[in-house]
Amino acid sequence: MNKQRVLFLCTHNSARSQMAEGLLRSLAGDRFDVASAGTEATRVHPLAIRAMADVGIDLSRHTSKSVETLLDQPWDHVITVCDSANERCPIFPKPTHRLHWSFPDPSQARGTTGDRLNVFRRVRDEIAARLEAWLETMAAATRGGGSTVEVVRLAEKFGKFSDAWSPRIVGEVNAMHVKVVKLRGEFVWHHHDREDELFFVVHGRLRMQLRDGDREVGPGELIIVPHGVEHCPRALSDEVHVLLLEPAGTLNTGNVQNERTVAELERI
Ligand code: NI
């Protein structure tokens, strides 16, 4: 699939455009190449890094860039994210598909660090909601453009990979991803702050370890783990094949980041 290229622009490439970049990559990095820039390069705001870390997205290695350095690249969409009421938004000088979304500048917030962090979180959530709506519009446009309705054959999908604990995306239902994953042995204890997870066992037996006791799930059975509930799946058979249904962007290891964390999921 040809990835579309998206550039987020604001004045300082410090908070809003950085958060938008991280969010879009997390929501749909398999379909979009994403970057951000500003009319001037400054630094990534430490509170933007913290607000994004809260949702499992790491901005600590992002840098603030000037749009000058990206002018010569082809962009399918250039999206400005500044407060149209109070700021002069940068203008991208090349012909491309331009969008403007107005968000307040969180770095203007005053008060304690906690108050200011809450403003960053609120703007982060506004940007995420806007991106999800935009992705939905884009997906609807693609479907309307003649994309076909396909039968997904799970046995065929499970035949395409062998590694355990690394989910693959096989479909989408609104903003949810349908994934397949193979389980061997035991995973890690974790929870998800926001996402509920559905596990449907296709093959083998799964023990869902929960703090209030374990549940066993066999072929043709499913279990839903609500957000906030600590869980640790364990394969009771040599290999368990599971279909997962969870919001796009759900990290497999939830609040825990380790060598089993898979941030960019493959679509098969
Ligand atoms: Ni989980």
This prediction has a pTM of 0.54
Sequence-ordered strand ranges (E) for the chain = 4-10, 32-38, 77-81, 97-101, 168-173, 176-183, 197-203, 206-210, 215-217, 222-225, 231-235, 240-247
Q: What are phi and psi of 77, to 5 degrees?
A: -140, 130
The number of folded domains in the chain is 2
179 and 119 co-located in one domain: no
Domain boundary pick from 102, 121, 144: 144
- Separation CA 5–CA 219 (nearest Å): 41
209 and 173 co-located in one domain: yes
- Separation CA 109–CA 87 (nearest Å): 15
191 and 95 co-located in one domain: no
Structure confidence at residue 220 (pLDDT): 97
Domain span including residue 230 = 154-247
Least confident of 72-86, 110-124, 163-177, 224-238: 72-86
The answer to whether position 91 is within a domain reads yes
Q: Where are the alpha helices (DSSP H) in the chain?
A: 16-28, 46-53, 113-144, 154-158
136 and 169 co-located in one domain: no
122 and 229 co-located in one domain: no
The answer to whether position 263 is within a domain reads no
Read off the CATH number of the domain in which 206 is found.
2.60.120.10
The answer to whether position 36 is within a domain reads yes
178 and 108 co-located in one domain: no
Q: Are 203 and 253 in contact (CB under 8 A)?
A: no
The answer to whether position 252 is within a domain reads no
pLDDT class of 147 with cuts at 50, 70, 90: low
User: Is there a catalytic annotation at residue 232?
Assistant: no
Distance between Cα 142 and ligand 1 center (Å): 30
Q: What are phi and psi of 188, to 5 degrees?
A: -120, 150
139 and 8 co-located in one domain: yes
Distance between Cα 52 and ligand 1 center (Å): 19
Q: Among residues 23, 47, 82, 251, which one is catalytic?
A: 82
39 and 121 co-located in one domain: yes
Quickly count: other Cβ atoms within 10 Å of residue 205's Cβ. Answer: 15
- Separation CA 56–CA 218 (nearest Å): 31
166 and 132 co-located in one domain: no
Distance between Cα 77 and ligand 1 center (Å): 33
The answer to whether position 259 is within a domain reads no
pLDDT class of 264 with cuts at 50, 70, 90: confident
173 and 73 co-located in one domain: no
- Separation CA 64–CA 202 (nearest Å): 46
Q: Among residues 7, 10, 49, 206, which one is catalytic?
A: 10
Distance between Cα 240 and ligand 1 center (Å): 15
Structure confidence at residue 148 (pLDDT): 62
Write down the mean pLDDT value for the chain: 90
Q: Flag whether pLDDT at 131 surpasses 90.
A: yes
The answer to whether position 140 is within a domain reads yes
131 and 175 co-located in one domain: no
Which residue pairs from 160-164 have beta carbons closer than 8 angstroms and sit at least 24 positions apart in sequence?
Answer: 160/268, 161/268, 164/235, 164/239
Distance between Cα 117 and ligand 1 center (Å): 26
93 and 196 co-located in one domain: no
